[in-house]
């Protein structure tokens, strides 16, 4: 079962409006001063910027225990590792976003944000393993209504230089809710309880909110 998300913003992310405005203005100005041939590369750049900041509404699965993808992209990690943010062993699933993916980030589960922490860092290519621990990142630790812990970490990439997160400790999150944005290439790491069952494998393509990454054990 799924429901349509009710987005309180346009199909183009508000974070992109200044960049789109500048790109279009430059293209039109150069077209006016030098003609279409000179302006063509700038029109192409404007189209690229426009597609980068698209932010479409998505269907949100409502199955009990479903952990939704927080980002569009490709699965690059499915492994058991240490969740340093919640101080536990966990199942880690990582989504890598290239510059052609939607970069709006969504909540993977319903729950309360019990920890929010920002880490300044480096800007290695986001698909490298060391990016999870050394790159600039912002971590949210959530507790679901039935007491499960889910950690969602926005990680900056080689080109990405700005992580935006709009929620903090105490926020009551809803699955599929838009909570942040990463500009120009990055990844999101999700840490789950060890008994969570992954629904994806390395190489799979996923969509924010509409793809179920894994299923949490549901209390009877």
186 is catalytic: yes
Rounded Cα distance between 211 and 200, Å, is 9
What six digits make up the tokens of 188? 């999101």
Burial status of residue 195 (CB atoms within 10 A of its CB: 0-12, 13-18, 19 or more): exposed
DSSP code of residue 38: H
For residue 44, which phi and psi values (nearest 5 degrees)? -65, -40
The catalytically annotated residue of 5, 132, 152, 186 is 186
Q: If you compute the radius of gyration of the chain from its CA atoms, what whole number of angstroms results?
A: 18
Which candidate, 112, 78, 115, 87, places its Cα nearest to that of 196?
Answer: 78
Which candidate, 205, 22, 25, 215, places its Cα nearest to that of 102?
Answer: 205
Annotated catalytic sites, by residue?
A: 186
């Amino acid at each position: 079962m799924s429901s349509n998300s009710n987005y309180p913003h346009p199909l183009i992310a508000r974070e992109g409006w200044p960049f789109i405005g500048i790109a279009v203005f430059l293209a039109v100005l150069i077209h006016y001063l030098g003609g279409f041939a000179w302006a063509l590369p700038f029109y192409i750049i404007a189209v690229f910027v426009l597609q980068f900041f698209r932010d479409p509404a998505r269907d949100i699965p409502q199955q009990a225990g479903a952990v939704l993808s927080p980002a569009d992209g490709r699965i690059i990690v499915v492994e058991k590792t240490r969740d340093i943010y919640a101080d536990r062993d966990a199942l880690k699933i990582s989504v890598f976003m290239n510059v052609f993916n939607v970069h709006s980030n969504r909540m993977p589960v319903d729950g309360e944000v019990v920890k929010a922490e920002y880490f300044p860092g480096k800007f290695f290519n986001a698909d490298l393993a060391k990016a999870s621990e050394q790159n600039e990142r912002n971590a949210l630790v959530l507790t679901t209504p039935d007491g499960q812990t889910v950690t969602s970490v926005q990680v900056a990439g080689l080109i990405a230089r700005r992580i935006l997160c709009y929620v903090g400790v105490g926020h009551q999150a809803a699955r599929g809710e838009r909570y942040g944005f990463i500009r120009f290439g990055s990844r999101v790491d999700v840490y789950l309880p060890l008994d969570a069952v992954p629904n994806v494998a390395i190489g799979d393509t996923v969509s924010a909110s509409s793809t179920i990454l894994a299923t949490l054990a549901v209390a009877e």
